[in-house]
Chain A
Amino acid sequence: MLEKYLPVNISTHGGEIDTLLINLHYLMLVLFVGGIIFYLIALVKFRQKEGCKANYTGIKNTKIAVALALVVAVVELVFDVMYSVPIWANVTATFPEPKDALEVRIIAQQFAWNIHYAGPDGKFGKTDPKLIDETDNPLGLDREDANAKDDVTTVNQLHVPINKPVLVYLSTKDVIHSFSLPVMRVKQDAIPGMIIPVTFQATKTGEYQIACAQLCGLGHYRMVGFFTTHTQEDFDNWMSGQVEAAKASDSEW
């Protein structure tokens, strides 16, 4: 029932988050409807009537409120311990081996997502804030560095292959942003001064979006990035095209 309100899910881990979310809403619905029925009956049954006095004691069993609260708390703690904590540990704190994953640096800024791939050598070139030039080199990538020669950088274009873990190193140049991929059930704040790892694995190809979830200034609403999932083959083609382009612009450098 609730599924149709959620964005599509194309991640390996999104299903368990959705299931938790949906089951919680069933619990909420049961509690709410139960409460409302009691409430409406009480309002009708005990409305003020001529010659009828209120009952001083009311419901005699004095423990039902505490009992109900404890039962609900136990159910909540089951959701907490059995589902939420393991899912959290699995989704946000279990990382693939870097060699098995596609490593990407994502550096947020007002109001764009800088994407930095290491290229064929698998090594990220050095960056230095002093080299930052907002038009030509928003990351401050040190082109003199040997590791940087084949690095690929894009603005607002995150491409990943499906069925392969992606390991993102998330950071920000200026203020707090929040890296949100609604279709992947991924959301992580980018905090100045910190590099935070984020991992996910896509299951379907398609074109989707990156959203900013944290107020980051006047352009927060338009901080849209594009998120494209490819088959491994298409991704490799895209990547080699990007590497060629990067090398070409490097020789101009």
Chain B
Amino acid sequence: MDATTVNLHKTHDHHEESFIRKYVFSVDHKVIGIQYGITALIFLFFGFTLMMIMRWQLAYPGEPIPFISSWFSETSMPGGIMLPEFYNSLGAMHGTIMVFLGVVPLAVGAFGNYLVPIQIGAPDMAFPKLNMASYWVYFIGGIVMLVGFFVPGGAANSGWTAYPPLSNIATTGQTVWLFGMVFLITSSLLGSVNIIVTIIQLRAEGLSFMRLPFFVWGQLVTSFLLLLAFPPLEAAGVLQLMDRLAGTSFFMPSGLVVSGQVLEVSGGGSPLLWQHLFWFLAHPEVYVLILPAMGIIAEIIANNTRKPLWGYKSIVYSAIFLGFMSFIVWAHHMYITGMGTTINSFFQTTTMIISIPSIIILTSLMISLWGGSIRFNTPMLFALAFLPMFGIGGLTGLPLGLSASDIPLHDTYYVIGHFHYIVAPGTIFALFAGIYYWYPKVTGRAMNEFLGKIHFWFSLIFINGIFFPMFIVGLAGVSRRLYDGGASYAHAQDILYLNELMSVSAWLLGLAQIPFIINFFMSMFNGKKTEANHWQATTLEWAATPSPPVPHANFIEIPKVYRGPYEYSVPGHSTDFTPQNQA
């Protein structure tokens, strides 16, 4: 071997990746996970800001917004007073951003990407380049969504559900929204294929399916939902684009008259077709939002009760059953579209049945507390709060799921309260729990407990201040999506005072995030350095690799797995945790 080849060989071994390759167009799942996480957190904060602006209008309809009115153009807030069009844009974009750009990318893109490979003992995702593509397609989708705010007429304003014909005749922002959705859906598809293949193919030796941490199960079922439910919406989005741009009428019947003008459409389409296609995705989407959250909660509860998860197998089977059932409940969002009794009975019965696995999972998590030795650290506080909050969200789904009791509640604030309890103090609390729990894994430093607890308690109080009054407003029969918070209606007069309470709670909730933001950035530099296994956990990501994990291949040596995921406080063992890779 001559000198040249030796040198070549050396450069290959010690190949230093360029900055761009390492941090921007990275194929390392850990970097992509962090990219997803940061982007999604920014979008979450942005989506929440939109709501804080809306809440001014709801609390004080028609009054000029203080401090920030100069940030907005005359076409959205003349004289600082929000226009109804702009209110509708904010509402549609709040929903879209929170769901498609915030929560799902954080739950699946960030947590799924970062944790699945290291929890199953894999050196990376199965398709690293696909993974990179998934992030960048998501990123483009996010930018496209934001561009909507700057086109004439403003961002999409037909609700996050985009029901035609309203969306078909809406301003250009709706076209931008549809393009954005096509990117976001494509990104989710790429990501879900990757996670499915990774979990099925790359598990470490000995890691059978029933030894997987429940978090991995949550990601697996979620990915199947994304894979199977998103294509119908992607198709529907393209059809709506055609209706708007190419003169088709998939969702438009003929004979419509808008503002005195007969609409020139070929006709023959059905607005209800969109609703079916939309909810065929958007109901499984609910479980896309909740299953990763349950996965995070399961990890944290097992770890901080220092005992195995109670009923692991029934939790896993319930999650699978939930996945299947979630495909046959979608029309409970459409009870009052003129549905007959037969179809209606079918959907309300499936809706009642889908509560069974949810109750099993929630009950098992609660029973897991019994007999534990519970540590109340910040991640655990968020995880514990998830249980009753998700409980409220689930229980209030009951009168909405039964068609007769849905009649007075449909499209009222009761619905808003219901699904926000699932997604905000439910999923988002779980995501916070996850951030506090895995932060030491990602950075090698722990977050500050004191700031974390301040963040937790104030968030818990104010988030209930926002969402609980919504049930009262909804029972009073006040419709959702009202620009003046119901001030135009006689039956809303008694509850109008609650609008101010909810708004103030929302702004205080915003303030309560400041300790989190400080904590998040400060701890990167000043946080206490941690050992590899900060929480004395059993799963591979903590037990088998340093914190942060080895840059390439995750593990110094790919671990072997000898036991189930939550072997805490095993009788006869000296420590109260027995890692999965301990022979």
Contact = CB atoms under 8 A, between A and B. Distances in A.
B159 interface: yes
Interface stretch (A80-88, A143-151, A155-163): A80-88
B353 A73 contact: yes
A17 B476 contact: no
Contacts, number: 305
Nearest to A226: B490
Contacts of A218: 83-85, 88, 157, 483
Contact of A55 (B307, B345, B483): B307
Contacts of B336: 178, 187-189
Contact of A39 (B254, B271, B311, B366): B366
B565 to A, nearest CB: 14
A180 B166 contact: no
Interface residues of A, number: 97
Given A43-B384, A58-B307, A187-B408, A89 B271 contact: no
Nearest to A107: B257
A245 interface: no
Contacts of B360: 65-66, 69
Contacts of B338: 188-189, 191, 194, 196
A17 B411 contact: no
Interface string B309-350: 011001000000000000000000000111011001100110
A42 B372 CA distance: 8
B306 interface: yes
A185 B262 contact: no
B298 to A, nearest CB: 13
A39 B374 CA distance: 12
Contacts of A81: 349
A80 B403 CA distance: 8
Contact of A134 (B88, B259, B308, B570): B259
Contact of B392 (A32, A57, A79, A87): A32
Interface stretch (B30-38, B177-185, B393-401, B553-561): B393-401
Among A27, A47, A182, chain B packs the most CB atoms within 10 A around the CB of A182
A70 B352 CA distance: 11
B479 interface: yes
Nearest to B361: A65
Contacts of A248: none
B163 A176 contact: yes
B272 A224 contact: no
Interface string B262-278: 10000000111000000
B359 interface: yes
A241 interface: no
Contacts of A83: 402, 404
A228 B427 CA distance: 45
B268 to A, nearest CB: 9
Given A57-B371, A129-B262, A84 B256 contact: no
B369 interface: yes
A213 interface: yes
Interface in A71-95: 72-73, 76-77, 79-81, 83-85, 87-89, 91-93
A64 B571 contact: no
A207 B369 CA distance: 54
Contact of A65 (B364, B472, B480, B484): B364
A134 to B, nearest CB: 4
B498 to A, nearest CB: 11
Contact of B271 (A69, A77, A193): A193
A166 interface: no
Contacts of B416: none
A239 interface: no
A232 to B, nearest CB: 25
A224 B258 contact: no
B475 interface: yes
Contact of B166 (A25, A73, A216): A216
B483 A221 contact: yes
A132 B352 contact: no
B465 interface: no
Contact of A80 (B348, B364, B475): B348
Nearest to B373: A54
Contacts of B483: 218, 220-221
B404 A20 contact: yes
Nearest to A207: B490
Given A66-B360, A213-B479, A7 B491 contact: yes
Contact of A176 (B166, B305, B345, B576): B166
B78 interface: no
Contact of A130 (B262, B371, B480): B262
A92 B480 CA distance: 23
19 contacts: A2-B475, A35-B366, A55-B569, A58-B310, A65-B360, A68-B359, A69-B356, A76-B398, A84-B405, A85-B404, A88-B344, A110-B259, A175-B165, A176-B271, A185-B407, A191-B271, A215-B166, A220-B479, A221-B84
Interface of B: 83-85, 88, 157-159, 163, 165-166, 169, 252-260, 262, 270-272, 305-308, 310-311, 314, 336-338, 340-341, 344-345, 348-349, 352-353, 355-357, 359-360, 363-364, 366-376, 384, 387-388, 391-392, 395-396, 398-399, 402-405, 407-412, 472, 475-477, 479-484, 486, 488-491, 568-571, 576
Nearest first, the 10 A-B pairs at minimum CB distance are: A193-B253, A182-B477, A55-B371, A87-B404, A134-B260, A58-B371, A69-B359, A42-B369, A84-B402, A218-B84
Interface of A: 2, 5-7, 16-18, 20-21, 24-25, 27-28, 31-32, 35-36, 38-39, 42-43, 46-49, 52-59, 62, 64-66, 68-70, 72-73, 76-77, 79-81, 83-85, 87-89, 91-93, 109-110, 129-130, 132-134, 140, 173-176, 178, 180, 182-183, 185-189, 191-194, 196, 208-209, 211-222, 224
